[in-house]
Amino acid sequence: MNKLSKFCCELEKHAEIKPQIFLSSATGYRARAEFGFSKNSYTMMESEQKIYMDKSSIPHPSIQEIMPDLLIQINKSKLILKKLFQINFRTSGTHVLATLIYHKPLQEDWILAAKDIQNNFKNLSLIGRSKKQKVLVDKEDLEVINNDANSSFKILQNDLVFFQPNFYLYSLMISFISKQLEDPRDLLELYCGCGGFTLPLASKFNKVFATENNRHSIRLLKESIKLNNLSNIETARLSDNETASALANERSFRRLENIDIQSYEFSHILVDPPRAGLSDETITLSKQFKNMIYISCNPESFLRDIVKLDREIVSIGIFDQFANTQHLEVIAFLK
């Protein structure tokens, strides 16, 4: 039984509704890709074997195009090669960010060598990282431009924050959510990251209050809000449990000094938790809301939480973000 059939069978225990299924190409889809580096090659594990390569068909074409030439340039420099063990890529669709990760501190001479490499590419920015150290060669923030039928928005991201990995399904996820909204007023969003859903959904609601515990993500989201000239989004660096405490008036937070939570008329809560799923505090908080949007990267924790939430599944979309793997992304509308 394949992963889609398996999940649908489990879902039938909780709802009679049939999910919408969104498939992905098996190649060229990844906006983020991580590779080991060994023996002058990119590496990845496949069937418990280490594969050596100069390029991969899985990343977005903009990354594929750069990989072989970047490898050639890296292998020309003993300084760049020394103690290099991993290379991470992410793309805006046109500009590529490559992070070189080391088992040694990086000195000024590394920056000079990295600049020489970067000068060979038109749409590449390099970052060097080692333990507790980040070295910038150029800009570190990528500007992702996404267009749907009704709006265009720009989202800043970098190599320290989560962003949707499937370049093509991301816009379909936004479209799926937008089409399911009924009587939207104000939105509470937990685990908002750098605004992958916050920014495109802002035009659908009167106001949005978005929280996230990662300080890098919140910084980028605030910059993106300015970049898009949006005035209906407020953000706070709060964890899920802290957000629940703030809304229940259990404790006050200095980070909320200029935000009047009581002025919101929340019609929806959106949650996009990590693989572990929702905390008990978040589940309790969600019971205050008529409409819930649950975005899950782990079907197992999603099915577990559905039982605890005790809500009706109104609609559900399954997004096969990673072709030929066991991973699925789920978006459910719950009443």
Q: How many residues does the chain have?
A: 335
DSSP structure string for 43-105:
EEEETTEEEEES--SSB-HHHHHHHHHHHHHHHT-HHHHTTEEEEEEEESSS-EEEEEEESS-
42 Cβ contact list (under 8 Å, min separation 6): 35, 36, 52, 53, 54, 55, 56, 67, 71, 87
Helix 299-309 / helix 3-11 crossing angle, nearest 10 deg: 10
Q: Which residue type occupies 56? A: S
Q: Which of 288, 273, 287 is nearest to 240 (CA)?
A: 273
From 189, 194, 242, 297, the catalytic residue: 297
What does residue 172 show for φ and ψ, rounded to 5 degrees?
A: -70, -30
Helix 61-75 / helix 108-118 crossing angle, nearest 10 deg: 130
Which alpha helices (DSSP H) does the chain contain, by range?
3-11, 61-75, 78-81, 108-118, 169-180, 198-201, 215-227, 240-247, 280-286, 299-309
297 is catalytic: yes
132 DSSP β-pair partners: none
Catalytic residues: 297, 329
